[in-house]
């Protein structure tokens, strides 16, 4: 039993790591597909309207021709819609301005279309693939190239942020356009070398007439597998959709001529009897969960999803239950449509139900679509309902397995009169979705948004507070402190605005801005003959982000030894290996690492021998406690720890003569505080350091 649990735990761990590695690009693709659902509903509504007009005999050639042209136009724009929606999500991930990134990626699809040409239908199919995948490399390339200073045309926002963002995307946009053209030429070369056109044309020419079960099974299984990864199967399977539509057109033409529909497998058959409720035929799953599941959360999701499921729209079920990446439900999600294909072909061939000959789009309403697509055959409606009932019983055994697994993982704690449900906790961890999380945090985000909008009209700047050697009374360092000034000239301190950036998860952006400004300031002072190290605060998020650390190391390497970093004790509690590697990388380029507010955070001192720390910065609360004997003993103990470990000491918050006199008795100590100077602007600090250098 223990071995089984260990294997299950190992498998879950490996799966979660694999999913985590693939999640960012797949999430962007998935969310981009979600954004296209309204467009899909629009185009299918137009198709369904045309079908209704046909069914009720309202034949208006001009109207139907216009509808057809509009539908074709929308379908032709799908590659551009793909690129726009997915690149917009990637722009958020890579911290790029969305409007220019979206427009550039749509232009890149046009570049690819021009390079590849329009030789046949297979090339158009490849263009769909291009629209889906192009942002996966184009947006990261834009981000990488944009980091180079020579690509930045504007450095200030004097003409407004949109102007700056657009101008600074020009050079990266042109460079990536060239790369996209090269990739398109390579894709075109591969297309001709391996006869990809013939391969895609083979898919396009799938024999739905003579092999209805095999061809229907191929479409159904591919659709389920794509949806399991969060990719909209209808778009990706366009080469198979068109033969299904063609088979339906033959049926309609034959019936109108007085014959019987010859093609059992067509697009309407799929919509009516295979994908009832959407991909995986999940309307049956919704009813099964509602009637038999023990999970309140699952029943609530199923109940909410049923109205949409009646229109074959099941994104809420797919992403909310979830089905995507849920291995426990993958098998029925794959098998149910396959069973439906076999049963549908069997029943339609028997003549018990009329073979569909009028187009019923995949998002047309259940029951009504069966009635219309078969010319008003009540047997088709009854058969569709029977399919849903059958699907309930296909999903039911797997649903019971999910419930049984959940009940085994419930742990009752009698002393607390409560139950820990591992299943729900595990489901939350493994199916974590930032989109759903954002909805739950909507109110908090709206408040944060208002705060962030107010900062767009304020000026960020740095002030510098000197650090003085007690032995020489000269300036030996300086700490950079970020400030914000509003339009009236009022200055806000970090404690007033940094919590807002922390809620917005933008502390790393603050860190990067401060590092860049400090390096620039250091270079200016060096040009004036002042070479002095600047201490910069850095957060745990930045230390754990290797992309950010790459940029920091590159930036400070031009002035080795002149940028020091202050981290809190809490920052060492994250990924120990990652944090340790980041500290070692900083040391390699000459930076020192200090523990800020030492003694006030994480109380364990064990980290001092696990990380290579250069200095301890003793918090001002210990300085204020020097007024009594116990406070002095604690202060002396901190000093002794630092000396014993060979670390330098910086004491902050020294404000009075008495405090300075006591601290100055300690060996090799630097002090920082109002006793010597408050924080000041860069030019004032230069003058101040000149005076103390002569002292």
On the question of pLDDT at 217 being above 50, the answer is yes
Residue 218 lies in a domain: yes
C-alpha 100: how far from its chain's center? 19
- The stretch 168-188 carries a mean pLDDT of 92
Give the pLDDT confidence score for residue 586 in this predicted structure.
Answer: 94
Show which of 440, 469, 487 is a domain's final residue: 440
Instruction: Check whether residue 504 and residue 629 sit in a common domain.
Output: yes
Instruction: Check whether residue 415 and residue 475 sit in a common domain.
Output: no
On the question of pLDDT at 526 being above 80, the answer is yes
- The stretch 668-674 carries a mean pLDDT of 91
Most confident of 162-176, 284-298, 325-339, 387-401: 387-401
Instruction: Check whether residue 348 and residue 398 sit in a common domain.
Output: yes
Instruction: Check whether residue 485 and residue 420 sit in a common domain.
Output: no
- Residue 614 CA to residue 593 CA, distance in Å, equals 5
Residue 424 lies in a domain: yes
Instruction: Check whether residue 410 and residue 494 sit in a common domain.
Output: no
- Residue 694 CA to residue 618 CA, distance in Å, equals 28
User: pLDDT, tens digit, for every residue of 416-439?
Assistant: 334 444 444 344 433 444 444 444
Most confident of 75-89, 209-223, 280-294, 608-622: 280-294
Beta bridge partners of 536: 565
Show which of 440, 474, 498 is a domain's final residue: 440
User: What are the b/e assignments for 91-108, b being 16+ CB within 10 Å?
Assistant: beebebbeebbbbbbbeb
- Residue 167 CA to residue 298 CA, distance in Å, equals 49
Mean pLDDT of the chain: 80
User: pLDDT, tens digit, for every residue of 435-460?
Assistant: 444 444 555 655 666 666 666 677 88
Residue 400 lies in a domain: yes
- Residue 650 CA to residue 398 CA, distance in Å, equals 63
What domain range is 620 assigned to?
459-693
Instruction: Check whether residue 399 and residue 492 sit in a common domain.
Output: no
- Residue 44 CA to residue 497 CA, distance in Å, equals 49
- When pLDDT is cut at 50, 70 and 90, the band that residue 142 belongs to is very high
Preceding peptide of 322 cis, ω within 30°: yes
Phi and psi torsions of 152, nearest 5°:
-90, 110
Residue 429 lies in a domain: yes
User: Is 518 within 8 Å of 448 (Cβ atoms)?
Assistant: no
- Within 13 Å and on the Cβ side, how many CA atoms surround 649? 26
Give the pLDDT confidence score for residue 326 in this predicted structure.
Answer: 75
Instruction: Check whether residue 319 and residue 350 sit in a common domain.
Output: yes
- When pLDDT is cut at 50, 70 and 90, the band that residue 138 belongs to is very high
Radius of gyration of the chain (CA): 33
- The stretch 515-527 carries a mean pLDDT of 93
Instruction: Check whether residue 383 and residue 426 sit in a common domain.
Output: yes
Instruction: Check whether residue 421 and residue 479 sit in a common domain.
Output: no
Instruction: Check whether residue 505 and residue 548 sit in a common domain.
Output: yes
The count of structural domains within the chain is 2
Residue 91 lies in a domain: no
Q: What is the CATH number of the domain that holds 466?
A: 3.20.20.450
Instruction: Check whether residue 410 and residue 529 sit in a common domain.
Output: no
On the question of pLDDT at 280 being above 80, the answer is yes
What does pTM read for this prediction?
0.47
Instruction: Check whether residue 380 and residue 501 sit in a common domain.
Output: no
User: Is 561 within 8 Å of 593 (Cβ atoms)?
Assistant: no
Residues in the chain, overall count: 695
User: Is 315 within 8 Å of 220 (Cβ atoms)?
Assistant: no
pLDDT > 90 in the chain, percent: 33
Give the pLDDT confidence score for residue 312 in this predicted structure.
Answer: 79
pLDDT > 70 in the chain, percent: 76
On the question of pLDDT at 155 being above 80, the answer is no
Give the pLDDT confidence score for residue 662 in this predicted structure.
Answer: 93
Residue 242 lies in a domain: yes
- Residue 266 CA to residue 208 CA, distance in Å, equals 7
Residue 639 lies in a domain: yes
User: pLDDT, tens digit, for every residue of 651-666?
Assistant: 999 999 999 999 998 8
User: pLDDT, tens digit, for every residue of 680-690?
Assistant: 999 999 999 88
Residue 661 lies in a domain: yes
Give the pLDDT confidence score for residue 127 in this predicted structure.
Answer: 78
């Amino acid at each position: 039993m223990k071995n089984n649990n260990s294997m299950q735990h190992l498998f879950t761990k490996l799966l979660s790591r694999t999913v985590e590695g693939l999640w960012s690009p797949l999430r962007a693709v998935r969310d981009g597909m979600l954004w296209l659902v309204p467009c899909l509903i629009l185009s299918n509504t137009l198709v369904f309207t045309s079908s209704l007009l046909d069914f009720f005999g309202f034949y208006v050639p001009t109207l139907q021709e216009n509808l057809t042209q509009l539908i074709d136009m929308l379908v032709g724009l799908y590659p551009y819609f793909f690129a726009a929606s997915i690149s917009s999500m990637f722009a958020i991930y890579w911290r790029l301005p969305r409007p220019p990134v979206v427009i550039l990626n749509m232009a890149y699809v046009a570049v690819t279309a021009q390079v590849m040409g329009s030789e046949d239908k297979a090339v158009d199919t490849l263009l769909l693939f291009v629209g889906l995948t192009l942002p996966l490399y184009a947006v990261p390339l834009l981000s990488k190239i944009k980091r180079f200073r020579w690509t930045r045309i504007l450095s200030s926002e004097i003409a407004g942020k949109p102007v700056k963002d657009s101008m600074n995307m020009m050079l990266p946009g042109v460079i990536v356009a060239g790369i996209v053209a090269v990739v398109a030429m390579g894709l075109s070369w591969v297309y001709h070398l391996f006869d990809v056109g013939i391969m895609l044309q083979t898919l396009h020419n799938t024999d739905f007439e003579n092999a209805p079960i095999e061809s229907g099974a191929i479409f159904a299984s591919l659709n389920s597998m794509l949806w399991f990864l969060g990719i909209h199967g209808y778009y990706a399977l366009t080469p198979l959709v068109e033969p299904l539509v063609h088979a339906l057109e033959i049926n309609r033409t034959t019936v109108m001529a007085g014959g019987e529909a010859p093609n059992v497998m067509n697009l309407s058959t799929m919509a009516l009897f295979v994908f009832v409720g959407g991909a995986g035929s999940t309307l049956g799953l919704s009813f099964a969960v509602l009637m038999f599941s023990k999970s309140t959360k699952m029943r609530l999701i199923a109940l909410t999803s049923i109205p949409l499921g009646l229109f074959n729209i099941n994104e809420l079920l797919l992403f909310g239950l979830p089905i995507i990446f849920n291995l426990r439900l993958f098998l029925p999600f794959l098998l149910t449509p396959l069973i439906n294909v076999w049963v549908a072909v069997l029943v339609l061939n028997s003549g018990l139900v009329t073979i569909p000959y009028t187009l019923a789009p995949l998002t047309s309403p259940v029951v009504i679509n069966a009635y219309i697509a078969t010319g008003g055959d009540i047997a088709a409606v009854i058969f569709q309902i029977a399919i849903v009932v059958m699907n309930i019983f296909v999903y039911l055994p797997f649903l019971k397995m999910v419930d049984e697994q959940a009940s085994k993982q419930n742990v009752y704690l009698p002393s607390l009169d409560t139950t820990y449900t591992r299943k729900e906790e595990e489901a939350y961890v493994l199916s974590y979705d930032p989109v759903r999380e954002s909805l739950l945090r909507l109110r908090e985000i709206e408040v944060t948004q208002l705060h962030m909008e107010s900062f767009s009209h304020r000026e960020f700047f740095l002030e510098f507070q000197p650090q003085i050697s007690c032995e020489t009374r000269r300036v030996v360092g300086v700490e950079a402190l970020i400030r914000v000034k509003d339009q009236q000239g009022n200055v806000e301190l970090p404690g007033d605005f940094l919590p807002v950036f922390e809620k917005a998860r933008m502390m790393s952006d603050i860190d990067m801005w401060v590092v860049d400004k400090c390096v620039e300031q250091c270079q200016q002072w060096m040009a004036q003959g002042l070479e002095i190290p600047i201490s910069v605060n850095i957060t745990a998020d930045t230390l754990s982000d290797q992309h950010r650390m790459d940029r920091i190391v590159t930036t400070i390497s031009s002035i080795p030894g002149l940028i020091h970093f202050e981290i809190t004790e809490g920052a060492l509690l994250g990924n120990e290996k990652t944090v340790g590697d980041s500290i070692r990388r900083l040391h390699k380029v000459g930076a020192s690492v200090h523990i800020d507010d030492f003694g006030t955070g994480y109380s364990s001192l064990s980290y001092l021998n696990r990380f290579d720390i250069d200095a301890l910065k003793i918090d001002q609360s210990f300085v204020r406690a020097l007024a009594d004997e116990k406070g002095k003993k604690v202060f002396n103990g901190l000093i002794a720890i630092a000396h014993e470990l060979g670390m330098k000491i910086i004491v902050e918050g020294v404000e009075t003569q008495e405090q300075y006199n006591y601290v100055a008795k300690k060996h090799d100590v630097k002090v920082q505080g109002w006793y010597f100077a408050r924080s000041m602007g860069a030019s004032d600090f230069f003058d101040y350091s000149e005076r103390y250098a002569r002292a």
